[in-house]
Amino acid sequence: MRTIKEINAKIKKGDVVVVTAEEVIDLVAKKGVKKAAQEVDVVTTGTFGPMCSSGAYFNIGHSKPRIKLGGGTCTLNGVPVYTGFAAVDIYLGATALADDDPRNKIYPGEFKYGGGHVIQELVAGKNAHLEASAYGTDCYPRKKLSTHINIKDINEAVLFNIRNCYQNYNIAVNLSDKPIYTYMGMLKPNLGNANYCSAGQLSPLLKDPYYKTIGVGTKIFLGGGIGYVSWHGTQHNPSVKRKENGIPQAPAGTLAVIGDLKQMKPEWLVGVSMLGYGVTLNVGIGVPIPILDEEILKYTAARDEEIYAQVVDYSEAYPQAVPGSLAEANYAQLKSGKITVKGKEIPTGNLSSYSKAVEIAEQLKAWIKKGDFTLTEAVAALPGVESGYTFKPLKESPSIS
Amino acid sequence: MVSKKIVLHFPSKLVDQPIVYKLVKDFDLQFNILKASVTSGEEGLMVLELTGKKENFDQGIEYLKSCGVKIQPLSKDVVRDEVKCTHCGVCIPICPTGALIVDPKTRKVIFHNDKCIACELCVPICPPRAMEVKF
């Protein structure tokens, strides 16, 4: 029908037709798949939610005299960073906590500040205090470093998230008789609430369920700037059960993404605190889907009603890694504010901001229409259903000591 | 001068002591009882409007705390930081009065201040910590 090259020519000429993954639903309802696919060149998606396997690496530049952080220790605003690289490369993970954070000693812990917050502050242009100690070598004699750093002064600041953008997620409930505090939020006892975490009909991988266009090298909206899909994400699991429409019914594909942190924005990388659980980072991601044929367009037009997720008990089944589902609900039901599980009507809460997902899809649409954002051809495909690639549990074996 | 509505929780051991009287005598504060439920031997609850000089007011509050009285602000004092809120909606099933709801059209979270009873359940569970208690 059309190629990415042809779409990019239209973007350059300024007559590209772009709609969001929400708008394409109405368009298909009105005009049908065939006509809509003829008209639309690109469908934009969006998602904004907590994504724990996120982080950023920095090259802070060499001090005088030189110091080798590798093998030493280093903190940013008191939050430890990973130093196991060369002299001045460090990696800050979203869930990292200061050594003196009380964690869950007073249960449920508040987790007021951690890696996610440091990343947001750095992106906002704030200074961060770096404190480091090293063992000293002949070529890197310095043993202590205490300084402020600013993202605009250091060499590289790169967001590199090893798992983002889950294709679908669980609906978390609590079957026990006491409240529990999870990464899915506070869950009230006896099925008191059901928390979910997906943009549903706007979520990138749900709109390209077989990864026909999204692959390694796909250019995306990342944290308010431009990023790229660098690989499939960790725990990528394309082989889960799917509905007839091809959409996975449980957490499936994931993306690893990368991009220059210096051009991102603090409103799209938000440090958040999950009571009793820890700190993480809310990441904003938008992926453009080129409409290369009718089938691709048909997938982008899937509605909330057609996308199902599984209800999982986080008091017992999840922590004990017992597979299975209590029930199934679609995103239209979840968004209505109530679902029924075991005959009980329970209120729902979303961890992923749908209104922010709409904003991202709209922003990406505006960039493409303005000619600021062209599409890329994937250089390698993500492991698909036929690959046999799966997400395995740990094979634990007693270690010899 | 400051004037604030506050909720006081008295542990049972304090119920038979003249604590509010001390606010008048030692801290020169005026009070207006909006609601009270105090029974000897049980926990007491009192909603007061407390008025006085800022310095005296703050000292009076410190005095109450030092006695073991738990103090909560009234509903109008739970506020939302509009910049911090990401409109995710994880607070919605937690709010017992429906003061936090999703606008079905914009999918944004609306905070109805008048329905809020200042239970504060939303404060620690808000991931970006956008709900604050102003006191």
Residue-wise pLDDT for A137-146, tens only, equals: 999 999 999 9
Q: Report the alpha-carbon distance of residue A136 to residue A86 in Å, rounded.
A: 13
Nearest CA in chain A to B87: A353
Asked if A48 contacts A222 with a C-beta cutoff of 8 angstroms, the reply is no
Residue B124 pLDDT exceeds 80: yes
Q: How far is A193 from chain B (nearest CA, A)?
A: 6
Per the rule left: phi > 0, alpha: psi between -120 and 50, beta: everything else, B34 is: alpha
Does A272 contact chain B (CB < 8 Å)?
A: yes
Q: Which domain-ending residue is among B73, B96, B124?
A: B73
Q: Which of A174-178, A246-250, A304-308, B129-133 has the lowest mean pLDDT?
A: B129-133
In this prediction, residue B4 has a pLDDT band, given cuts at 50, 70 and 90, of confident
Mean pLDDT of all residues belonging to chain A: 98
Q: How far is A108 from chain B (nearest CA, A)?
A: 10
In this prediction, residue A381 has a pLDDT band, given cuts at 50, 70 and 90, of very high
- What per-residue confidence (pLDDT) applies to B75? 52
Catalytic residues of A: 139
Residue B97 pLDDT exceeds 70: yes
Percentage of chain A beyond pLDDT 70 is: 100
Are residue B90 and residue B51 in the same domain, yes or no? Answer: no
Please compute the mean of the pLDDT values over residues A218-229 and round it to a whole number.
98
Q: Do B106 and A353 touch (CB under 8 A)?
A: no
Q: Which tokens in the block code for residue A31?
A: 């005009």
Q: Report the alpha-carbon distance of residue B15 to residue B38 in Å, rounded.
A: 7
In this prediction, residue A209 has a pLDDT band, given cuts at 50, 70 and 90, of very high
**3-class secondary-structure state, position B112:** coil
- What per-residue confidence (pLDDT) applies to B76? 55
DSSP A109: P
Asked if B47 contacts B36 with a C-beta cutoff of 8 angstroms, the reply is yes
Are residue B18 and residue B68 in the same domain, yes or no? Answer: yes
Residues of A whose CB is below 8 A from B90:
185, 195, 349-351
Residue in the structure block whose two tokens are 């609850």: B45
Does B133 contact chain A (CB < 8 Å)?
A: no
Q: Report the alpha-carbon distance of residue A257 to residue A228 in Å, rounded.
A: 6
Residue in the structure block whose two tokens are 């609306």: B110
First and final C-alpha spacing in chain A: 62
- What per-residue confidence (pLDDT) applies to A326? 97
Radius of gyration over every alpha carbon of chain B, rounded to an integer in angstroms: 17
Number of Cβ pairs closer than 8 Å across A and B?
72
Please compute the mean of the pLDDT values over residues A209-215 and round it to a whole number.
98
- What per-residue confidence (pLDDT) applies to B12? 82
- What per-residue confidence (pLDDT) applies to A80? 98
Percentage of chain A beyond pLDDT 90 is: 99
- What per-residue confidence (pLDDT) applies to B32? 84
In this prediction, residue B40 has a pLDDT band, given cuts at 50, 70 and 90, of low
Q: Which of A3-17, A35-49, A241-255, B1-15 has the lowest mean pLDDT?
A: B1-15
The answer for residues whose C-beta is within 8 angstroms of residue B99's C-beta and 6 or more apart is B111, B112, B113, B114, B115, B116, B117
Q: Which residue has the higher pLDDT, B47 or A322?
A: A322
Residues of B whose CB is below 8 A from A188:
93-94
Are residue B59 and residue B99 in the same domain, yes or no? Answer: no
Are residue B18 and residue B66 in the same domain, yes or no? Answer: yes
Residue A401 pLDDT exceeds 70: no
Asked if A208 contacts A347 with a C-beta cutoff of 8 angstroms, the reply is no
Q: Which residue has the higher pLDDT, B135 or A294?
A: A294
Residue A360 pLDDT exceeds 90: yes
Mean pLDDT of all residues belonging to chain B: 87
Q: Among A238, A212, A234, A199, which residue's Cα sits nearest to residue A355?
A: A199
- What per-residue confidence (pLDDT) applies to A363? 98
Please compute the mean of the pLDDT values over residues A139-166 and round it to a whole number.
98
**3-class secondary-structure state, position A285:** strand
Residue A276 pLDDT exceeds 80: yes
Q: How far is CA A343 from CA A16, A127, B93, in A?
A: 49, 53, 18
Q: How far is A112 from chain B (nearest CA, A)?
A: 9
The answer for residues whose C-beta is within 8 angstroms of residue A156's C-beta and 6 or more apart is A57, A58, A59
Are residue B55 and residue B93 in the same domain, yes or no? Answer: no
Taking a contact as any Cβ pair under 8 Å apart, which residues of chain B between 107 and 126 contact chain A?
A: 107-108, 124-125
Does B129 contact chain A (CB < 8 Å)?
A: yes
Does B89 contact chain A (CB < 8 Å)?
A: yes
In B15-130, DSSP assigns E strands to 30-37, 44-52, 70-73, 78-80, 100-102, 109-111
Domain count, chain B: 2
Nearest CA in chain A to B125: A275
Residue B63 structural domain: 2-73
Q: Do A349 and B90 touch (CB under 8 A)?
A: yes
- Cα-based angle A275, A280, A285 (whole degrees, multiple of 5): 130
Residue A224 pLDDT exceeds 70: yes
Are residue B43 and residue B87 in the same domain, yes or no? Answer: no
- What per-residue confidence (pLDDT) applies to B135? 62
pLDDT digits (tens, 9 = 90+) for A41-95: 999 999 999 999 999 999 999 999 999 999 999 999 999 999 999 999 999 999 9
Are residue B43 and residue B98 in the same domain, yes or no? Answer: no
pLDDT digits (tens, 9 = 90+) for A264-274: 999 999 999 99
Give the start-to-end residue ranges of the domains of chain A.
4-51+159-387, 57-156
Are residue B92 and residue B80 in the same domain, yes or no? Answer: yes
Please count the other Cβ atoms lying within 10 Å of the Cβ belonging to residue A358.
20
DSSP A195: E
Asked if A195 contacts A275 with a C-beta cutoff of 8 angstroms, the reply is no
Q: Which residue has the higher pLDDT, B71 or A162?
A: A162
What's B124's domain CATH number?
A: 3.30.70.20
Residue A255 pLDDT exceeds 60: yes
Q: Report the alpha-carbon distance of residue A215 to residue A255 in Å, rounded.
A: 9
Are residue B50 and residue B104 in the same domain, yes or no? Answer: no
Q: Report the alpha-carbon distance of residue A303 to residue A298 in Å, rounded.
A: 11
Are residue B59 and residue B91 in the same domain, yes or no? Answer: no
Are residue B7 and residue B55 in the same domain, yes or no? Answer: yes
Asked if A233 contacts A163 with a C-beta cutoff of 8 angstroms, the reply is yes
Residues of A whose CB is below 8 A from B94:
186, 188, 193, 349
Residue in the structure block whose two tokens are 């905070």: B111
- What per-residue confidence (pLDDT) applies to B3? 82
What's B35's domain CATH number?
A: 3.30.70.260
Most A CBs within 10 A among B86, B87, B122, hence the mutation to make, goes to: B86
Are residue B64 and residue B15 in the same domain, yes or no? Answer: yes
Please compute the mean of the pLDDT values over residues A113-135 and round it to a whole number.
98
Most B CBs within 10 A among A273, A283, A345, A359, hence the mutation to make, goes to: A273
Q: Report the alpha-carbon distance of residue B9 to residue B43 in Å, rounded.
A: 7
Q: Which domain-ending residue is among B50, B73, B96?
A: B73
Q: Do A192 and B125 touch (CB under 8 A)?
A: no
Alpha carbon of residue A258 to chain centroid: 11
